[in-house]
Amino acid sequence: MKYNNRNNPNKNIKVAKITILFIIISILVITVGNIVMQRFSNNTKTVQALDGNQNAKSESSDNQSKSETDSDELKSESNSEVENSAFVEKYLNQQMKGQRPDGADGKKVVYLTFDDGPSETVTPQILDILKKEDVHATFFLIGKYIDKDQASKDLVKREFDEGNAIGNHTYSHDYNYLYPNGKINLENCMSDFEKTNQSLKNILGQDFSTRAVRFPGGQMTWDKKDPSGAEAMDKALHDKDYHQIDWNSLSGDAEGAPKKAEQLKQEVIKTVANREKAIILMHDTYGKEETAKALPEVIEYLKGQGYEFKIIK
């Protein structure tokens, strides 16, 4: 005869107890698991929040540090022979407005600059003198002269290889194209600067770039003649990290009647006038042999006055 559980109440009670115990244990496991998962989730969110705050603080600190560094670069010149072009631009702008430049610190620095090259006649002489005197200069080059022939390209490379700085002086140097009707043509100017920049890259490598640019005639002229155009031009240049470099001293080798070497030297002495930061305009294009003749005595005078020589990049 088959054994029937219904006839064994004690066993039924035992089975019921086991079932209830299993259910209770399952509920406890599920409950504890949910609590653990919830705490883990909260801890993860807290860690992520802390990491996010830390990253935000770090990024904010980095941005602040960069901002402070950029600001410091504009307030004082670097300690090396290479000068920040943004510093020189701001210094000249403030000086021309009759303000005390932020970078005025009593330290005498001179920046020799040569426009309108390269030329196969004068530029080699200038480079020989600079090398002999152990000083460097900044050459603001015209693109069409860079591309003139291989000899001109070799001169650009020599300027660079010997430690001089290369600046951009437009491609055409054509006033009618750059300033039609006496107004700055932003598109034409930027096109000329970019074209010269590419010519320089073709010689010095695609990684080469110069931040220093100079307008034919200088931008100071257009600040008065076409202030709105000059302002728009400044913004376009700064958007590409170009900085416009004028001058506050000159030899006079492109003004008035041709001058002899002694006259050029005297003009430098007069216009430097014991300036704290002297940016001297000279030229190394064709026909400027007297500039080359004057250069050794100009350098000798500046050294005697206690000037440190720097280049602009």
| Amino acid code (one letter) for 247 | W
- Sign of the CA dihedral running 123, 124, 130, 131: positive
Alpha-carbon distance of 34 to 140, in angstroms, equals 73
Alpha-carbon distance of 65 to 32, in angstroms, equals 49
Q: Which of 246, 253, 283, 284 is catalytic?
A: 283
What size, in residues, is the chain?
313
H/E element, 262: helix 261-272
CB count in 10 Å sphere of residue 241: 10
| Amino acid code (one letter) for 194 | E
- Sign of the CA dihedral running 278, 279, 281, 285: positive
Is 283 noted as a catalytic residue in this protein?
yes
Torsion of CA 138, 140, 141, 143, to 10 degrees: 140
H/E element, 280: strand 277-283
| Amino acid code (one letter) for 190 | M
Q: Is 278 left (phi over 0), alpha (psi -120 to 50) or beta?
A: beta
Cα 247 off chain centre by: 19
Residue with tokens 């064709």: 286
158-162-163 Cα angle (round to 5) = 125
Is 223 noted as a catalytic residue in this protein?
no
Alpha-carbon distance of 286 to 124, in angstroms, equals 11
Q: Which of 115, 192, 223, 284 is catalytic?
A: 115
Determine contact, residues 185/179, Cβ cutoff 8 Å. Answer: yes
Q: Catalytic residues, which ones?
A: 115, 283
